[in-house]
């Protein structure tokens, strides 16, 4: 019989807002009881200032229980996540709209100070024992979308204008042109080339999750460009359907997962696929089972949910967090059972 190694199914959840170690341990055991083997811990600017030693204990505690840990750059440069504290120290690093208005809570990805700050945060990831970074939903702002183009967009700060002139040979226009769209894509890619090279040099793996949408400057071609980055190890997406994605989660999540995996296969990258476990309307909780099945059926083997206990600690929580958490555990149990059944059949086929 030929040797067939067991394929790994990773089932995970995003966890944040609690820094009391007693409760962290209880919650990590709760994750295991709900058929999860990976936890994504947030590492915020506030953690940097106030909880760096605690976060080292959180990471160690989680790993000691057998769970894999990823570290999320939650709010480091602004939403998604917290508003960027960095901008209080470097007010000249705000994203600027084409109208000249300041974007109040997001840092410019081209800011040299923000690049250096990002590398300092990576140093913190290393200090607390992080082995994988999840770069969470990178984007630039686009508003008032008409015919796929934003009327208001970032970034048109002085740094971006200088870089645009250097790259294109023209002054950066106020209107959204093909050259502006290309520059926005270049900005995202150049940022990740820079920061992931730094973390890779520290033997830290890099994963990214992107939300598709013209308003945030991300589409399938963007995912493909991110996947080309040599030091980006894992490329994922989050096809959330509650609140407008699709009335039927199975085909919506299946299609998005297939598209994500095709890019990953093309460039030899690992993947991550997210299931929506927040803002879940009561009466529609079982759609999470459909979505999780869809991701697995499409070929995903790293399937995570946002977030812990239906994001109970946030205003965007599920309407019934306890029931949502129960359904999440059931969804993950179902795919784990199927995975082991499939694995057993593969072993038998080799007899």
Q: What is the pLDDT of residues 279-293, one digit of tens each?
A: 999 999 999 999 999
Rg (CA), the chain: 21
Are 7 and 343 in contact by the 8 Å Cβ rule? The answer is: yes
Through-space distance between the first and last CA atoms of the chain, rounded to whole angstroms: 6
**Bridge partner residues of 191 (DSSP):** none
**Bridge partner residues of 102 (DSSP):** 96
The token pair that represents 86 in the structure block: 């960095």
Angle between helical axes of 321-349 and 287-297 (0-180°, round to 10):
30
Distance CA 75, CA 78 (A): 4
What is the helix (H) or strand (E) element at residue 63, kind and residue range?
helix 52-64
Distance CA 266, CA 260 (A): 10
Going by the DSSP 8-state scheme, the letter that residue 292 receives in this structure is H
Q: What does each of the 351 residues of the chain score in pLDDT, given as a tens digit?
A: 334 456 899 999 999 879 999 999 999 999 999 999 999 999 999 999 999 999 999 999 999 999 999 999 999 999 888 888 999 999 999 999 999 999 999 999 999 999 999 999 999 999 999 999 999 988 889 999 888 889 999 999 999 999 999 999 999 999 999 999 999 999 999 999 999 999 999 999 999 998 765 544 456 677 899 999 999 999 999 999 998 656 799 999 999 999 999 999 999 999 999 999 999 999 999 999 999 999 999 999 999 999 999 999 999 999 999 999 999 999 999 999 999 998 899 899 989
Domain ranges of the chain: 10-93+106-142+204-349
Confidence (pLDDT) at 216 = 47
Buried b (16+ CB within 10 A) or exposed e, 176-201: beeebbebbbebbbebbbebbebbbe
Are 140 and 219 in contact by the 8 Å Cβ rule? The answer is: no
With a CB cutoff of 8 Å and minimum separation 6, the contacts of 117 are 76, 86, 90, 107
The closest alpha carbon to 194, from 280, 88, 115, 281, belongs to 115
Are 152 and 178 in contact by the 8 Å Cβ rule? The answer is: no
Q: What are phi and psi of 239, to 5 degrees?
A: -75, 75
> Mind listing the pLDDT tens digit for each residue in 131-179?
999 999 888 899 998 888 899 999 999 999 999 999 999 999 999 999 9
How many CA atoms lie within 13 Å of 132's alpha carbon, on the beta-carbon side? 21
CATH code linked to domain 10-93+106-142+204-349: 3.20.20.80
Buried b (16+ CB within 10 A) or exposed e, 59-80: beebeeeebbbbbbbbbbbbbb
Distance CA 48, CA 245 (A): 35
pTM for this prediction: 0.94
Confidence (pLDDT) at 5 = 52
Distance CA 331, CA 297 (A): 13
Are 69 and 56 in contact by the 8 Å Cβ rule? The answer is: no
Going by the DSSP 8-state scheme, the letter that residue 350 receives in this structure is T
Confidence (pLDDT) at 346 = 87
Residue with tokens 């796929």: 148
């Amino acid at each position: 019989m030929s040797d067939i190694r067991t394929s790994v199914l990773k089932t995970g959840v995003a966890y944040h807002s609690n820094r009391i170690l007693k409760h962290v341990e209880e919650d990590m055991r709760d994750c295991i009881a709900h058929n999860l083997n990976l936890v994504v811990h947030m590492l915020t600017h506030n953690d940097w200032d106030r909880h760096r030693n605690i976060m080292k204990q959180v990471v160690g505690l989680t790993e000691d229980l057998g769970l894999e840990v990823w570290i999320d750059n939650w709010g480091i440069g602004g939403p998604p996540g917290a508003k960027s504290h960095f901008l209080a120290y470097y007010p000249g690093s705000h994203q600027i709209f084409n109208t000249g208005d300041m974007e109040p809570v997001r840092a410019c990805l081209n800011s040299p100070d923000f690049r250096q700050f990002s590398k300092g945060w990576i140093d913190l990831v290393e200090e607390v024992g992080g082995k994988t970074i999840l770069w969470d939903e990178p984007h630039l702002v686009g508003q008032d979308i008409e015919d796929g183009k934003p009327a208001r967009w970032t970034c048109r700060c002085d740094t971006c204008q200088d870089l645009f002139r250097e790259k294109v040979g023209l002054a950066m226009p106020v209107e959204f042109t093909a050259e502006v769209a290309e520059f926005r894509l270049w900005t995202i890619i150049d940022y990740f080339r820079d920061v992931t090279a730094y973390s890779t040099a520290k033997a830290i793996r890099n994963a990214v999750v992107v939300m598709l949408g013209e308003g945030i400057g991300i589409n399938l071609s963007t995912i493909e460009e991110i996947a080309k980055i040599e030091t980006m190890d894992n490329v994922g997406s989050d096809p959330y359907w509650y609140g407008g994605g699709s009335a039927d989660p199975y085909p919506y999540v299946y299609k998005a997962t297939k598209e994500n995996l095709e890019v990953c296969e093309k460039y030899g990258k690992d993947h991550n696929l997210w299931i929506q476990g927040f803002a879940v309307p009561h009466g529609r909780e079982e759609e999470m089972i459909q979505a999780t099945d869809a991701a697995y059926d499409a070929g995903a083997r790293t399937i995570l949910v946002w977030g812990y206990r239906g994001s109970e600690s946030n205003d965007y929580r599920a309407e019934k967090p306890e029931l949502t958490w129960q359904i999440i555990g059931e969804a993950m149990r179902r795919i784990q059972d199927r995975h082991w059944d499939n694995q057993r059949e593969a072993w038998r086929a080799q007899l």
